Amino acid sequence: MRFAGKVVWITGASDGIGAALARALSAEGARLVLTARNRDKLQAVAEACTEAAVIPADLANEADFEALAQRAIQAFGHLDALVNNAGVGQRGTALDTALPVVREIMEINFFAPVALTQAVVPHFIERGSGRVAVTSSLAGFIGTPARSTYAASKHAVQGWFESLRAELHGTGVGVTVFVPGYIRTDISLKAKRSDGSSYGRMAAGNAGGISADDCAARMVDALAAGRDEVVIAGREKYGVLLKRLAPGLVRRYLHRAVPEAEEGP
């Protein structure tokens, strides 16, 4: 088993990709530290794993990330990997989305993984090994209507963790960025509308996307191989290449998509 005895901390572990990743890593022999807001859901995931500690936390309102990281380290005495997976989606236009909603999305999607990484990486450097991973999105390459803050948070993730990877060269600490496309999870149900309420609907793209278990399997492979970045998507992955080769064509498509933006994936 590729992760036998390794200790992996996963945020956003109560459902979706995070829960699937926990199960997949457990099957590979990993010991897990699981974090999310819902203690009951976390406990259910932990019970499906061989060895897992549960540390509930609301990353949007966490007062002390250093203390949270120390709790995670102490659960099994050390950490071998941190997977920053917690995230929230968006269904609201750039001009209408209330600033507190913008801040909440950025807190969860960008500031929390940055704060946790800053708290954990010194532990990895001291040990001479470790891996930080973060779940980004194809939205980290392409901004789409009604996803302005979500796209901004994922663009920020891409840039920050790419810079971190360069800074950590030679320390024994690696950085992996997961770039999922449409994954069949509840992310659209929980996405934030302009006023902060939940979107409450399963988007067509997610409904027809890759399963969370398949996504998690590819993430585990990427972690085991020490990959810097891995795109996990269906045909939508070609949008990134198209954006680079024919940006004008992508812009024209996005302009036409505006009226249906809040109904889209």
Q: Which residue numbers are catalytic?
A: 150
Could you give the dihedral angle defined by the CA atoms of residues 205, 159, 66 and 56, in that order, rounded to the nearest 10 degrees?
A: 0
Residues in Cβ contact with 240 at an 8 Å cutoff, skipping those fewer than 6 apart: 138, 141, 142, 231
Helix then strand count (H, E) for the chain reads 10, 11
The Cα 178–Cα 262 span in angstroms is 25
Q: What are 211's strand-pairing partners?
A: 184
Backbone phi, psi, residue 107, to 5°: -60, -45
Q: How far, rounded to the nearest angstrom, does the alpha carbon of residue 100 sit from its chain's CA centroid?
A: 21
Give the H or E element holding residue 183.
Answer: strand 183-184
- DSSP state string for 107-129: IIIIIHHHHHHHHHHHHHHHHT-
The Cα 150–Cα 159 span in angstroms is 14
The Cα 211–Cα 29 span in angstroms is 22
Residues in Cβ contact with 214 at an 8 Å cutoff, skipping those fewer than 6 apart: none
The Cα 204–Cα 152 span in angstroms is 22
Residue 205 tokens, joined: 């793209």
